[in-house]
Chain A
């Protein structure tokens, strides 16, 4: 008998419909799955067989053929498990579909329960678009599935549950045999409490805990960062315009503390951005049982031991990496000097193009990755370069080499640079309380809104060179000042545009309609003096 069901897989950030056909016929017992790569084949087969038997059904001793169509589409993830298992039940006559049409998503565990899968959001969206409004999903994914308009998410605890729903009131279901009672398994992040008795019992299932958090621990309020007025101002300018920022300073200067205040200062995502961000988190498997639309601008802070795949994306499932998880938000790299150089090199494409292309043997995908970079580094090995009163133990060429090595790949892309110094504790205590995050965030939001309005929805960092020149609106005197700066600093055209972008953000922060001379001069001081004049170092 042939059974046909509908499920879906993830293709990049979108879902893709997959039709499951199951045929059970007399013949040499065995299960042949067509349309999957070999490794996934046998895995799915084993999972499904164990799940069917442990859920109390019979695994047919016949020739089972399963087809996942279309055959040539790459199928990652194991969301098709449930459809295959139910298909086998239907095709072997143990279950007759009686209810409304329903699409099925979920990975089966060996004991017949259902495990949540990543990417529910886009998969459900695709199914709804294709006309399948009723979708059975694992219980922990129900909230996420419910985010999609037009979807009726049916939470399912296990294979038996799914069979019941598929059968509906008029279908028929063979009574499951007495369940074998699996040994209770308890571990650090899996709590499975399985209640036994009859087939109608709904085992209470709790989702596996340990769903990844956002990467940011409790945000720091800006009022906790004392001193560092220059760095705080530079941070404001950077957040207004979306400019990439480099914080340079010795250990203990407060770079990390300042960066941890960023989440409290980021403006919220708009509707479109929020959906984008939530989909990415979904595909990465980060939306937990309490899934909701994510309004907060992402702030990712990977440790410097972060691998290439974790940063950029990849792995067997081509999961999105940190650069995509930080899409529309901030990627903070602390201890820039400790990051693997290849990992830093890989950031070029996201920073330049706003996306990252991944190609593996299992397929190709392009994820969005429009990020704002904030990085922190020491000025040199010993940390004291530039300190007015401590002699740096490094020679000037060592300092130069260190800075080039550390920020080399990103040197071209860091628009702002600011130095922090350690402030002695007596001075810190004597200072007034600085402004709290709420006040500063409001200022940032206002300034940013002004710029978005003027730029047609893009930040100052995102608009083209010609557009920023227009947006700057320099008068004659300011233009000649710009020429003076450009010559003194030997700026290329790109350098001039970059300076104008930052100046435009300074002016937005000041509430000025055009970039005036003070804004231009202030922006010039934040420029990274990339090519340090060697004789300046020597003398």
Chain B
């Protein structure tokens, strides 16, 4: 850095250049490479010297003209940032997350809501998967997200419906911070159903980021491309459930290319819902998620389950409630996997009215959540607060 003033000027030029429509990561890098700095690129354009070099570099004409308009036009585009309350992060900044260094086609800028420092949190795990998961997949996602969030890891995902949303939500429920990387500009921050999730992520100390200018809508290529940032912002990526040709598999490939560990939850053989996962496991260096405990071990993190469980103690006023024997039994079954009312009646042998009533109580306490008639573990149950049936292996969860 030459001096504060010129550093600031370079940053402003950097932002202006990055905001030019048509200039993405690739072209930006070429320009800066050719002219030495963003500022120099803008000056060259203003002086009308962009023509020949511009064409050589592959800059389309409209973009060349826009660059020539220089900083004044950029100021207008920057108005969108203020309006939406967005901050910007560039590689010139100290706060730029070091993890992103491995990302191919480094994004010149990240726009964001929330806390930019969360991107550099000591631990970060990406959790991705299909937009149409089974309830089993959802439940597993919630358990993984809870487990990592309890161990102070930030959960990174793409804010898509399905696995992404489940991961963000479970992380927040466990009191963790989450980062969402969206595939469009911030004017279209993800699915309508997730608007509340966006707010909660920000309120919880997380962030919602994008490499695209806020005015840019989502388009075909933007989602696969943003997946490289998801994996880039995380120490490791976990794919929970993905059929063939799912976008989540792209995130996995990026993780491997970036030299980061990839964990994949295996499904059943020949099950189309998890066929993508099995392919990855068979054909790449991805490691299987055999259990939450295995995953934690493979990440090199400590177990300390009892300590962590205590963090999810219910608030003072609810301490008086102890689950009865029926509730305990039901909680144990649901903790192991989603179950319908019928399944619970059959397995416990209790009358349907009794089981139904106990489930209502568990639901009121936040231990289970009904979804289209099937009950999933929630809240404290996700963290294993109620003892699960002991697994057959010597290692216990």
Q: Which residues of A contact B (CB under 8 A)?
A: 227-234, 248, 379, 385-397, 399, 418-421, 423, 484-485, 488, 506, 509-510, 517-522, 524-526, 529, 534-539
Contacts and interface: CB of A to CB of B under 8 A. Distances in A.
Interface string B207-249: 0000000000000000000000000000000000001000000
Given A227-B342, A229-B345, A535-B197, A522 B161 contact: no
B296 to A, nearest CB: 22
A538 B374 contact: no
B341 A522 contact: no
Interface of B: 130-137, 142, 161-162, 165-166, 168-170, 191-194, 196-197, 243, 272-273, 337-342, 345-346, 351-354, 356-361, 363-364, 369-374
Given A510-B353, A518-B354, A539-B166, A229 B196 contact: no
Contact of A518 (B142, B193, B340, B357): B357
Given A419-B374, A525-B359, 14 more contacts: A229-B342, A386-B135, A387-B134, A399-B372, A506-B353, A520-B357, A521-B358, A522-B357, A525-B341, A526-B356, A537-B193, A538-B161, A538-B169, A539-B165
The CB with the most chain A CB atoms within 10 A, among B132, B351, B359, B371, is that of B371
A168 to B, nearest CB: 68
A contact face: mostly helix, strand, loop, or mixed? helix
Nearest to B194: A538
Contacts of B374: 386-388, 419
B350 to A, nearest CB: 10
A538 B352 contact: no
A421 B372 contact: no
6 A-B pairs with least C-beta separation: A386-B372, A539-B169, A419-B373, A521-B357, A233-B352, A525-B356
B227 to A, nearest CB: 19
Nearest to A524: B360
B372 A385 contact: yes
Given A525-B356, A525-B357, A538-B161, A421 B191 contact: no
A518 B353 contact: yes
Contact of A534 (B134, B142, B196, B357): B196
11 contacts: A391-B272, A393-B132, A395-B131, A395-B161, A488-B364, A519-B357, A520-B357, A525-B360, A529-B370, A535-B193, A537-B161
A537 B372 CA distance: 9
Contact of B364 (A386, A392, A485): A485
Given A229-B346, A388-B340, A389-B136, A397 B193 contact: yes
Contacts of B193: 396-397, 534-535, 537-538
Nearest to A230: B341
Contacts of B354: 518, 522
B372 A538 contact: no
B170 A539 contact: yes
Given A399-B372, A485-B364, A539-B166, A392 B132 contact: yes
Interface centre among A231, A525, A529 (most CB of B within 10 A): A525
A419 B344 CA distance: 13
Contact of B338 (A231, A232, A388): A388
Contacts of A234: 352
- Most central of B131, B165, B356 by chain A CB within 10 Å: B356
Contacts of A510: 353
Contacts of A520: 357
B357 A536 contact: no
Nearest to B369: A536
Contacts of B351: 233
A479 B391 CA distance: 41
Contacts of A421: 340, 342, 373
A517 B356 CA distance: 12
Given A227-B342, A379-B372, A392-B132, A538 B337 contact: no
A509 B359 CA distance: 19
B284 to A, nearest CB: 23
A388 B169 contact: no
A423 B340 CA distance: 12
Contacts of A534: 192-193, 196
A529 B369 CA distance: 12
A538 B357 contact: no
Contacts of A399: 372
Contacts of B170: 539
A525 to B, nearest CB: 4
B235 to A, nearest CB: 23
A388 B196 contact: no
Contacts of B243: 391
For A389, A484, A521, A539, the residue with the greatest tally of chain B CB atoms inside 10 Å of its CB is A539
A248 B374 CA distance: 12
A539 B162 CA distance: 7
A517 B327 CA distance: 14
Contact of A521 (B196, B360, B370): B360
B191 A538 contact: yes
Given A395-B132, A395-B161, A397-B193, A386 B371 contact: yes
A485 to B, nearest CB: 7
A525 B196 CA distance: 26
Most buried by A among B165, B341, B346: B341
A176 to B, nearest CB: 71
A509 B356 CA distance: 15
A388 B136 contact: yes
A522 B353 contact: yes
Nearest to B340: A421
Residue with the highest number of chain B CB atoms closer than 10 Å, among A248, A390, A394, A521: A521
B345 A535 contact: no
Nearest to B172: A539
A484 B371 contact: no
B168 A539 contact: yes
A389 B161 contact: no
